[in-house]
Every structure is written in C-alpha cells, then in structure tokens.
C-alpha cells in the first residue's frame, strides 16, 4: 500500500517543466469563463431593459413575453455575476495537474448538463404555448414564447462555451503525452519530455 501511495504521489507531482503549460491552460479556462459571463450578463441586462420598457407598452401575450424575459434574466444576471467573480478569483490560481484536469472536466460536464436543461426549457415553452392556445391564455402563450427564446439562446451559449472549453482542455493531452511513468521492479521513475 505504501508503494502505491508513493506512485500516486509521484504521478500527480508533475515536474516543474509542465507547470507553466498547466497554469496557461487553467488561466485560459478562467478567461473563457470571464468572457462567457460578460456575454451572459450583457444578454441579461439587455433583456431586462427591453423587457421592462416593452412590458409597459404592450398587451396580451407580448406583455407576458416581456414580463417573463425580465424574470428569467434576473436569474441569468445573478448566475453571470457569480460566475464572473468565481472566474476572476481563479485567474492566477496555481493548480496541480490533477486539480486542473478535474476543474476542466467539471466545467465541461456542467455545460453539457446546462445544454440538456436548455432543451427542457424549450420543450416547456412549446408545452406552455400549446396549452395557451387550447385555453386561450395570453399569459401561457407569452411565457411559452419567452421560454423558447431564452432556452434557444442558452442552448447556443452553453454549446458554444462547451466547444471552446473542450478545445482548451485538449492542451492537457499534450502535457500528458510528454509524461511517462516507468517501473523496473525496484524503481519508479517519472519522465517528462522537454521537446
């Protein structure tokens, strides 16, 4: 057990040569998140501004469409603010390879989950729209149209963020290809190619 612990510690302690590459990938991940949160925050603010003005100058399903856009984007703005602050605090964080890879896969999984939720929002929007048609309800139709719009935007946003993060995460493949672990029965060695 002691040998296994030593091997694991050695494997996760990548030589200093790889640290700069790891930190660069980590920094880029946080920069991507900062940009994404600015986009999401801008979308939220624009929807809140336009929706608030249009709410008072519209009626029927358009009134409810604008109302839901405002409500929905209050939440988006909160998420964008929290995401921005989190990414900002992680910009200069020094991570081990294991932690950096973990954080990379975590953001990718979150974005995939969000994309699935976005499809659910659009399906709910379609359901509300149809229900509104059947019940002659402007509120349901307006809310349904808003969910369709917001879900579609978020699906494009989350899918785009996923693709960008996945591309950035491929940098870890290059780092790991340079690292090898060797064991000859008596000695363990970690090698890092400097090419």
Condensed to tens digits (0 to 9), the pLDDT of residues 117-166 reads 999 999 999 999 999 999 999 999 999 999 999 999 999 999 999 999 99
User: For the chain, what is the domain count?
Assistant: 1
* Residue 184 maps to a domain: no
d(CA 20, CA 49) in angstroms, rounded, equals 43
Q: Would you give the distance in Å from CA 155 to the centre of its chain? A: 11
Q: Which two tokens stand for residue 153?
A: 């935007």
Helix axes 60-89, 16-56, angle to 10 degrees: 160
Q: Is residue 125 part of a domain?
A: yes
Residue 11 lies in a domain: no
Q: Is residue 2 domain-resident?
A: no
What Å distances lie between residue 21 and 18, 102, 108, 151, CA to CA? 5, 16, 19, 36
Domain span at residue 85 reads: 17-178
pTM: 0.83
pLDDT, residue 95, reads 87
In a domain, 146, yes or no: yes
Residue (of 29, 58, 69, 48) closest to 152 by Cα position: 69
Looking at the domain assignment, is residue 9 inside a domain? no
Q: Domain for residue 65, yes or no?
A: yes
pLDDT digits (tens, 9 = 90+) for 13-48: 545 556 788 888 999 999 999 999 999 999 999 999
Domain-embedded: residue 106: yes
């Amino acid at each position: 057990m002691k040998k296994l612990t030593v091997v694991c510690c050695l494997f996760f302690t990548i030589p200093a040569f790889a640290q700069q590459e790891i930190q660069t990938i980590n920094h880029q991940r946080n920069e991507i998140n900062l940009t994404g949160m600015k986009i999401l925050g801008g979308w939220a603010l624009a929807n809140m501004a336009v929706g608030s003005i249009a709410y008072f100058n519209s009626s029927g399903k358009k009134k409810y469409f604008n109302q839901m856009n405002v409500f929905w984007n209050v939440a988006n703005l909160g998420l964008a603010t929290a995401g921005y602050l989190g990414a900002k605090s992680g910009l200069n964080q020094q991570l081990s390879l294991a932690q950096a890879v973990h954080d990379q896969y975590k953001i990718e999984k979150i974005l995939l989950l969000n994309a699935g939720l976005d499809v659910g929002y659009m399906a709910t929007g379609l359901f509300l729209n149809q229900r509104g048609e059947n019940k002659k309800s402007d509120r349901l139709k307006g809310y349904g149209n808003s969910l369709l719009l917001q879900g579609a935007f978020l699906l494009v946003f989350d899918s785009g963020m996923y693709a960008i993060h996945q591309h950035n995460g491929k940098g870890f493949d290059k780092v790991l290809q340079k690292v090898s672990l060797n064991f000859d029965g008596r000695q363990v060695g970690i090698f890092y190619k400097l090419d």
